[in-house]
Structure 1
Amino acid sequence: MPDFKPPKDAYTLILEAIDLGVYKPGDRLVESELADRFGVSRTPIREALQRLETQSLLTRDGRSLIVASLDHNQLAELYAVRAELEGFAARLAARHATDEEVRLLRAMVEEDRKLMDEPKALSRANRRFHKQIHLASHNRYLVQQLDLVHRSMALLATTSISFEGRGSQTIDEHAAIVEAIAAQDGQGAYEALKTHISTAFLTRLRQDSDSPERYSL
């Protein structure tokens, strides 16, 4: 019997659309259009938009709501927080990850090697990999905070993995993180993941230097 998956609510549908680049920074979101797109009434759409505005994922432009964008300082702050929290998650994963979780992380790395020429698919796989490390920390409060950080990452409209050579480098960095976790080397896992995020940030800065009017992940 297949697993039952509950239908996604309006908030999740809009957030995923932003994350996938259907709606990019600066795009205007209209209740009626969103209701038609997702096949739901306007009331849950309105509530979802209010929630997203509260979380600073949407901002006001007159009477309209638009997808927020990040300036250079906000981008740097986001990456700084992400590096520390994800590094901490890796440290805890080295201490608490089960054998099954380690095997899953290793399998993810090997499966992701097949996606080198598919930046969008590799980007989705990258998010799954990081989420699995969060879960392997076995700290629900840390997972909640990382979920908040990754919601803000949805405002970054492209992936640094698309930068030339970054895909294979990302996979190698993931492999190093997993092996540190497998060896129960908390400090090594922490440093490997922080270095991974730092390298991604540097790649992002190099990307955005070609289009400084927009910062995106």
Structure 2
Amino acid sequence: MTDTKPQKDAYRLILEAIDSGIYRPGDRLVESELADRFGVSRTPIREALQRLETQSLLARDGRSLIVASLDHNQLSELYAVRAELEALAARLAARHATKEEVGVLRDMVEEDRQLVDDPSALSRANRRFHKQIHLASHNRYLVQQLDMVHRTMALMATTSLAAEGRGVDALAEHDAIVTAIAAGDEQRAGDALKQHISKAFTTRLKLDSRNISRLG
């Protein structure tokens, strides 16, 4: 008798575990342990690990696979690409977003104000907010590219929203972005989102420099 139960997506399960911090940069991933955790056979786990390695989300450490980490140059390159793509998404959202999509964005900003004291929850809400802008661009190819960028963002061990005062500032920036999108002002929407990413990058660099000083 054939098993008709839907198969779990091993790739998605591992990716979500990395994104949520269950597995962090440097953590070793073992096929058998992953299969037990997710209730999936080892073959789809192996295929998922190969796919994640191809996407540079996993790296080799001898014979083992570990969650990759980003060095300073990779971080700079990632933020440079993200800033341009996110700005394009905001400009297209200002052109194409429906009133319902704008309403959802406004609601997100208001609801997220309750999360300023919880960096982890605010980080998850931040990803949802940006994803909503990507979708509001109504450009499937841009959404695909931004999905790849945001997958790589999961390789950062900490969120810039953990910095003191950053959560409040980020929400104010989100509000400015939504206001520009609602007004249909493509240039202002793109500029506001690009500046938002720049400030997030600056905050992350400061956090990283403090961590290096502590280690020194």
Question: What TM-score do the two structures reach when normalised by structure 1?
Answer: 0.94
CA distances 1:16-57 after superposition (whole Å, capped 9, x unpaired): 111111111111100001111111111111010000000000
Residue 43 (structure 2) aligns with: 43
* Consecutive unaligned residues in structure 1, runs of 5 or more: 1-5
Question: What letter corresponds to residue 79 of structure 1 in structure 2?
Answer: Y
Does the CA-based 8 Å contact 1:21-1:158 persist in structure 2? no
Q: Which residue of 2 aligns with 1:139?
A: 139
Opposite residue 169 of structure 1, the aligned amino acid is D
Which one-letter code corresponds to 1:128 in the other structure? R
Relative to 1, partners in 2 of residues 1:137 and 1:8: Cα closer, same or farther, differing over 3 Å?
Answer: farther
Q: State whether residues 93 and 137 of structure 2, in contact with CA within 8 Å, keep that contact through their aligned partners in structure 1.
A: yes
Partner of 2:16: 16
SS of aligned partner of 1:65? strand
Which aligned pairs between 1:64-143 and structure 2 lie closer than 5 A? 64-143=64-143
Written as runs of structure 1 = structure 2, the 5 A alignment for 1:181-192 is 181-192=181-192
| Match in the other structure for 1:3 | none
How far, CA to CA, are the matches of 2:8 and 2:179 in structure 1? 35
CA distance in 1: counterparts of 2:7 and 2:150, whole angstroms: 22
Counterpart CA distance in 1 for 2:8 and 2:92 is 31
What's the RMSD between the two structures over aligned residues?
A: 1.2
Write the distance in 2 (CA, Å) between the matches of 1:206 and 1:63: 34
Alignment deviations for residues 117-170 of structure 1 (CA, whole Å, 9 cap, x no partner): 111111100000000000000000000000111111110121110110001111
What SS class does the counterpart of residue 59 from structure 1 fall into?
A: strand
Distance in 2 (CA, whole Å) between partners of 1:94 and 1:8 is 37
How many residue pairs end up in the alignment?
208
Partners of 2:8 and 2:40 within 8 A in 1 = no
Are 1:20 and 1:157, in contact at CA under 8 Å, matched by a contact in 2? no
Q: Would the aligned equivalents of 1:19 and 1:157 in 2 still touch at CA under 8 Å?
A: no
Contact 1:56–1:68 (CA<8 Å) still a contact in 2?
yes
Encode CA deviations 1:73-117: one digit per residue, 9 max, x unaligned. Answer: 000000000000000000000000000000000000000001111
Q: 1:8 to 1:183 in 2, by over 3 A?
A: farther
Contact preservation (8 Å) 2:102, 2:178: yes
Q: How does 1:163-178 map to 2 (within 5 A)?
A: 163-178=163-178
How far apart, in 2, do the equivalents of 1:12 and 1:179 lie?
Answer: 34
How much does 1:7 deviate? 6.8
Equivalent-residue separation in structure 2 for 1:7 and 1:208 (angstroms): 40
CA distance in structure 2 between the aligned counterparts of 1:8 and 1:178, rounded to whole angstroms: 36
Q: Say whether residues 1:209 and 2:205 are aligned partners.
A: no
Match of 1:209, SS state, is helix
For 1:7 and 1:172, the matched residues in 2 are separated by 42
Cα distance, 1:210 vs structure 2: 1.5
TM-score, normalized by length of structure 2?
0.94
Deviation at 1:10, TM superposition (A): 0.7
Distance 2:45 2:18 in 1: 14
